[in-house]
Each structure stands twice: as structure tokens, then as C-alpha cells.
């Protein structure tokens, strides 16, 4: 581990004209696919992360990543996804990535905090495993679903949510962009929302998740998740992080801890996160992990910025080689 350690870069704020303008973002649950860990096994830094996380949680995360049925279970996919996200970042670090700011979507926020040096790898892996187990149990005891509304403003999505709720739990879970909002709630309420969306010529896409995350239905998991967070040591970040619950950058460990404690029940304010990245004048957004969902959102949300997904060591080398030669 010592051989891979790097000196912490000076925190670069958005007004620093000499600073790097690169952001790294981390996908969350729902981005997984069978075999997603395999590319990182070919690189020493990625393999190290997968082994450390597997040891920390007492699971063979590589084998879980190869099993599509296992990846459908929240308690198994969350530590597996977390490990792959961090593995991607460690490989990028080996290629000399120097972000000015990081952010992660829902579960991805934990990987972002490890990347920023706020949290250490093994204790965070254990906290993520506890989060996965708690939310898995809550999803079973309080069944629900999630659906993405595409091509609708946040205001219209919120109005559709209020109209379709009819006394059932139905909430805005993810504010992904100015044209995409995810709703979370009971199955009946989600079905009404999807039917209402069709009458308004709004596309609704049911998400392949186990429960109604970021809604009151996940409340039974809250105490366990907060206890897991309370057991973590929060340190000064190497660079700014953007918590989901605020969508605004911070370098305060106290604020980061507080907002992470709110995250489970709060909407993921990703659209606001993209605004914050634009305020940093980032010219490149790298998505570290097994997805390009955040890459596509960044391309639509940050005019002029280059957005790329890194799902393998080859991607990391290619991206950083191009970054080194960029004007």
C-alpha cells in the first residue's frame, strides 16, 4: 500500500486560473453489470482495492460482480459497486489524475469521499455493506419501486408526483437534470405516476432496483445507516466534494458528515451538482466506474465540457493520455 501512496495535492478552488479543471464522478446502484470487476483485476491498483474491500466485508466481491442474480440484491451490489468505483479511481490515480472536485450519485458519494481522502477504504467498505444490508431489509419489509421521468421539467415532475400520490408514498428521489427526474414510492403510486406520465406525453422508465430508495419507505434503514456513518473518521478532503443532499461543494469534514447522514432520505440533487461543476469551470468530467449514465448527464448539463466514462484500465490510460496533451 505504501508504494502506491501519493502526496495530497493542494486544494484548488474554482477561481484558481492555474488549477486543473477536471472533475471525477462516481455512479451509484443501478449502474452495475455482470463482470464489472474483471477489468480492474488486470491492474495492480484496481486489484488491490477489490481485495481490500472483499477482506473488509467478508465477501468475494469479484465473484458477486460476476453473478447477475447477486447483483440484483441491494445488500450485495452496494459493496460490490463501491469497490469497483474506488478501483476505477485508484487506477486513474496511477495515471496521475488530479481532480479539482469529486461527486458521487447516491451510493457513489461514498466512493467520492474515499477518493477525496475524507474516508478510508476498509472502514467505508464496511459502512457501505451495512447500508446495503439495512436498505435491503427495508425494501423487503416496505416494498416499492422507482421510475425515471424523461423529457419533463423538475417542476412538472413534482406536479405529476403530487397528483399521482393520492395518499400513498411518492417522492422525488433524484433530480438528475432539467429534463430527467426519478420518482420513488409504493408500487401502486409508481404505476399511477407512469400512467399519468403517458397521458402527458412524458416517457417513464422503470428502474431495475429492489426498493423505493430516497423516499420515506426506506426510513427503517435510517438508524442503522447513521450508526455506520457515526463510526467513520472524517478527515480534511484533498479537493472539494459535492454532497448529494446539498449539491453544493464543501471542504468541511463536519458538513460532509452531516450531509451524508441526511443522504438516504434526501433527493439526490444531481442537477444542482452539475451546476456546481459548471461553477468550477471544469473542462473534463470523468465517470469512474461501470457506467456512462453520469457521462451522458454531464454532456447535456455542462456546455463545453468533455465527459468520458472510464470502465477499464485501458480507458483510464487513454483518457489521461489525452488529458496530458490537451491545450
Dist. CA 248–CA 252, nearest whole Å: 12
Cα Rg for the chain, rounded, in angstroms? 19
Q: Would you call 306 helix, strand, or coil by DSSP?
A: strand
Establish whether 106 is a catalytic residue.
yes
Dist. CA 268–CA 134, nearest whole Å: 19
Dist. CA 108–CA 90, nearest whole Å: 15
Q: Residue count of the chain, please give it.
A: 327
H helices within the chain, ranges in order? 38-41, 44-57, 61-65, 74-94, 108-115, 121-141, 154-165, 187-199, 222-230, 253-263, 270-279, 293-301, 313-325
Element (H, E) at 209: none
Dist. CA 53–CA 59, nearest whole Å: 8
Establish whether 214 is a catalytic residue.
yes
308 Cβ partners below 8 Å, 6+ apart?
A: 284, 285, 286, 287, 295, 315, 319
136 Cβ partners below 8 Å, 6+ apart?
A: 73, 74, 75, 210, 211
3 Cβ partners below 8 Å, 6+ apart?
A: none
Q: Which of 43, 184, 214, 215 is catalytic?
A: 214
Ramachandran angles phi, psi of 290, nearest 5°: -85, 60
Q: Which of 94, 106, 276, 312 is catalytic?
A: 106
Q: What's 18's DSSP letter? A: T
If we measure between CA atoms, which residue out of 313, 327, 325 comes closest to residue 93? 313
The residues carrying an active-site annotation are 106, 214
Amino acid at each position: 500500500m505504501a508504494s502506491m501512496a501519493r502526496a495530497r495535492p493542494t486544494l484548488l478552488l474554482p477561481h484558481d486560473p492555474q488549477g486543473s479543471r477536471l472533475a471525477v464522478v462516481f455512479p451509484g446502484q443501478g449502474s452495475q453489470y455482470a463482470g464489472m470487476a474483471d477489468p480492474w483485476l488486470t491492474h495492480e491498483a484496481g486489484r488491490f482495492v477489490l481485495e481490500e474491500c472483499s477482506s473488509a466485508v467478508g465477501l468475494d466481491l469479484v465473484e458477486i460482480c460476476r453473478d447477475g442474480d447477486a447483483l440484483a440484491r441491494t445488500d450485495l451490489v452496494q459493496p460490490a459497486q463501491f469497490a469497483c468505483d474506488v478501483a476505477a479511481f485508484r487506477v486513474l490515480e496511477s495515471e496521475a489524475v488530479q481532480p479539482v472536485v469529486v461527486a458521487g450519485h447516491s451510493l457513489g458519494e461514498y466512493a467520492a469521499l474515499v477518493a477525496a481522502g475524507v474516508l478510508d477504504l476498509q472502514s467505508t467498505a464496511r459502512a457501505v455493506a451495512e447500508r446495503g444490508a439495512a436498505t435491503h431489509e427495508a425494501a423487503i419489509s416496505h416494498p416499492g419501486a422507482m421510475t425515471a421521468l424523461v423529457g419533463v421539467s423538475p417542476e412538472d415532475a413534482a406536479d405529476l408526483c403530487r397528483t399521482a400520490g393520492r395518499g400513498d408514498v411518492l417522492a422525488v428521489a433524484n433530480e438528475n437534470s432539467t429534463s430527467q427526474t426519478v420518482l420513488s414510492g409504493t408500487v401502486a403510486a409508481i404505476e399511477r405516476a407512469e400512467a399519468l406520465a403517458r397521458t402527458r406525453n412524458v416517457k417513464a422508465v422503470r428502474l431495475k432496483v429492489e426498493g423505493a430508495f430516497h423516499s420515506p419507505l426506506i426510513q427503517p434503514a435510517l438508524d442503522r445507516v447513521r450508526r455506520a456513518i457515526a463510526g467513520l473518521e472524517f478527515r480534511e478532503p484533498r479537493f472539494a466534494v459535492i454532497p448529494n443532499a446539498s449539491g453544493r461543494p464543501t471542504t468541511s469534514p463536519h458538513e460532509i458528515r452531516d450531509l451524508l447522514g441526511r443522504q438516504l432520505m434526501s433527493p439526490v440533487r444531481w442537477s444542482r451538482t452539475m451546476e456546481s461543476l459548471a461553477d468550477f469551470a471544469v473542462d473534463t468530467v470523468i465517470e469512474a466506474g461501470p457506467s456512462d449514465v453520469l457521462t451522458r448527464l454531464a454532456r447535456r448539463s455542462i456546455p463545453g465540457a468533455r465527459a468520458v466514462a472510464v470502465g477499464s484500465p485501458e480507458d483510464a490510460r487513454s483518457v489521461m493520455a489525452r488529458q496530458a496533451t490537451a491545450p
